[in-house]
Amino acid sequence: MKFEIKLHGNVPMVSSKDIAEQFGRDHNHVMTAIKGVLNLSDIVEAKYKAGNGQMQPCILLNERSALIAMPFIGGNKSKEGQVALVDAYLAYRSQIKMPTTFSEALLLAGKIQAEKEALEAQAIKDAPAIEFANAVTADEDEMEIGDYAKLLSKRNHCHIGPNKLRAFLRDKKILMSGRSQGSSEQNRPYQHLIDKGFFVVKEALCKDGLHRAVTHITSLGQLKLSAIILKHFN
């Protein structure tokens, strides 16, 4: 895994297209995840020339933004991706022209120290979100609602049963009730939440031998919904 770092407005950045290719993921899904995790002020929307010669949208990320987004994109390869990203930025910095005068050296040292302090301060601020993101993506990209309930209960020392969680999500209009849509739609997420990358629906073979649609919540959905779920159950 090797990321390509390029300058954009004097800031070294990595593109969402490169990230998608390194992880073998759909580029549109990667961009959706990035926009769901980061503020618009933390990203740069740009264009790249596709293989067919047409210009296509992409997102450029600086080092901090890319490291924050990585757990929501890389799944169980997120840690490998974080290491590869840091290595790529270090390699890029090693190619930067070294100062030739004492005043240039002082300016460079001051700039590096300021960047370091800013990243350290932001790391403290972002730590809870990143810690949770790394936890929920340590084993799988997404999990079934029942397993998610168990994870929340274990990590937050409270009891959230699968049925209680599904009932809460139905009450909040996150999952369908099945009353008006038909029983087969019960506990299925609304389409706009699937489009945002919060949920995926997969077909699974059940114990009775029939195939049924099973709802899985993604790592992005877990981060976005955990706050309102824990506020209700704690």
Enclosing domain of residue 103: 6-136
Question: Quick one: pLDDT band at residue 123, thresholds 50, 70, 90?
Answer: low
Same domain, 22 and 128: yes
For residues 28 and 85, give the distance between their C-alpha atoms in angstroms, rounded to a whole number.
Answer: 20
31 inside domain: yes
The span from the CA of 226 to the CA of 231, in Å, is 8
CA distance 189 to 173: 9
Which DSSP symbol is given to 228? Answer: H
Greater confidence (123 vs 155) lies with 155
Integer Cα distance of 106 and 104 in angstroms: 5
> Residues 6 or more apart from 57 whose CB is under 8 A from it?
31, 45, 46, 47
Q: What is the pLDDT of residue 120?
A: 60
- 1 in a structural domain: no
Q: Cα separation of 145 and 168, whole Å?
A: 12
What is residue 60's predicted lDDT score, i.e. its pLDDT?
Answer: 94
Residues 175 and 82 in one domain: no
pLDDT in the model for residue 139:
42
Determine the residue type at 221: G
- With respect to residue 44, please indicate whether it lies within any of the assigned structural domains: yes
Same domain assignment for residues 66 and 148:
no
* pLDDT score for 16: 92
Task: Say which residues have a Cβ less than 8 Å from residue 110's Cβ, sequence separation at least 6.
Answer: none
Q: Which residue would you say has higher pLDDT here, 75 or 176?
A: 176
Q: What is the mean pLDDT of the chain?
A: 78
Beta bridge partners of 215: 201
* Number of domains making up the chain: 2
Q: Using CA of residue 206, residue 211, residue 212, residue 216, what is the dihedral sign? A: positive
Indicate whether this model's pTM tops 0.85. no
- Do 95 and 161 have their domain in common? no
Identify whether 52 is part of a domain. Answer: yes
Q: Is residue 84 part of a domain?
A: yes
CA dihedral of residues 65, 68, 74, 76 (deg, nearest 10)? 160
- Position 9 scores a pLDDT of 79
Do 26 and 42 belong to one domain?
Answer: yes
AA identity, residue 148: Y
Residues 122, 200: one domain?
no
Q: Is residue 29 in a domain?
A: yes
142-168 per-position pLDDT tens digit: 788 888 888 878 776 778 888 888 899
Task: Give yes or no for residue 183 having a pLDDT over 60.
Answer: no
What mean pLDDT is predicted for residues 77-91? Answer: 84
Do 45 and 123 belong to one domain?
A: yes
197 and 126 share a domain? no
Q: What's the average model confidence in pLDDT over 92-116?
A: 70
**pLDDT tens track for 32-74:** 888 877 887 888 999 988 888 889 999 999 988 888 888 778 7
Last residue of a domain, one of 83, 108, 136: 136
Name the domain boundary from 75, 109, 136.
136
Shared-domain flag, residues 73 and 17: yes
